[in-house]
């Protein structure tokens, strides 16, 4: 797509080694490559607290602390291993995800050296 020529951001993908293979194949077929993989680092208890708060604010009764912790277990089993893979390829950019949105955005923009 023409609107992606200057670049694009994928959020929450890939999550598994299999998806990494699919993404690499797709990018390769389009003569594209990843420039960076961004990881927002946040303390696990803070993640749980944020998601529990979001759940109560949005009336998501299915997002209990137990469900959230189970999703985090899946993350650590399936997605966290990708961190080392991307680090070894020199693609991983880690940014502190704590703070207000504007501060985190500023850190992301600076880390990726992009203009917004």
- Residue 81 sits in a domain of what CATH number? 3.40.50.300
pLDDT at 116: 62
d(CA 77, CA 64): 20
> Is 95 part of any domain?
yes
> Is 114 part of any domain?
no
> Is 110 part of any domain?
no
pLDDT at 23: 97
pLDDT at 61: 76
Extract the tokens encoding 43: 């303390």
> Is 5 part of any domain?
no
Extract the tokens encoding 76: 């650590």
Query: Looking at the 3D structure of the chain, how many domains does it have?
Result: 1
> Is 109 part of any domain?
no
> Is 115 part of any domain?
no
Can you name the residues that pair with 41 across neighbouring β-strands?
96
pLDDT at 62: 75
Q: Nearest CA to 11 among 40, 45, 52, 53?
A: 40
Q: What does each C-alpha distance from 53 to 23, 49, 63, 111, 114 come to in angstroms?
A: 33, 6, 10, 28, 31
d(CA 102, CA 88): 30
End-to-end CA distance of the chain: 20
> Is 6 part of any domain?
no
- Taking only the tens of pLDDT, the chain with its 116 residues reads 777 777 888 999 999 999 999 999 999 998 999 999 999 999 999 999 988 988 888 888 778 889 999 999 999 999 999 999 999 999 999 999 999 999 999 999 999 987 66
pLDDT at 113: 87
The pTM (predicted TM-score) of the whole model is 0.80
Extract the tokens encoding 45: 């208890």
> Is 111 part of any domain?
no
The boundaries of the domain holding residue 30 are 12-102
Which helix (H) or strand (E) segment holds residue 96: the answer is strand 92-96
pLDDT at 55: 87
* Tally of CB atoms within 10 A around 37: 19
């Amino acid at each position: 797509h023409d609107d992606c020529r200057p670049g694009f951001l994928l959020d929450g993908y890939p999550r598994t080694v299999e998806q990494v293979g699919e993404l690499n194949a797709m990018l390769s077929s389009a003569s594209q490559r990843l420039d960076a993989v961004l990881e927002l680092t946040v303390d696990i208890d803070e993640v749980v607290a944020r998601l529990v708060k979001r759940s109560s604010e949005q009336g998501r009764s299915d997002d209990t602390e137990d469900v959230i912790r189970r999703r985090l277990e899946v993350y650590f089993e399936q997605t966290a291993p990708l961190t080392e893979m991307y680090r070894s390829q020199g693609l991983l950019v880690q940014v502190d995800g704590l703070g207000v949105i504007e501060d985190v955005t500023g850190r992301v923009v600076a880390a990726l050296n992009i203009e917004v």
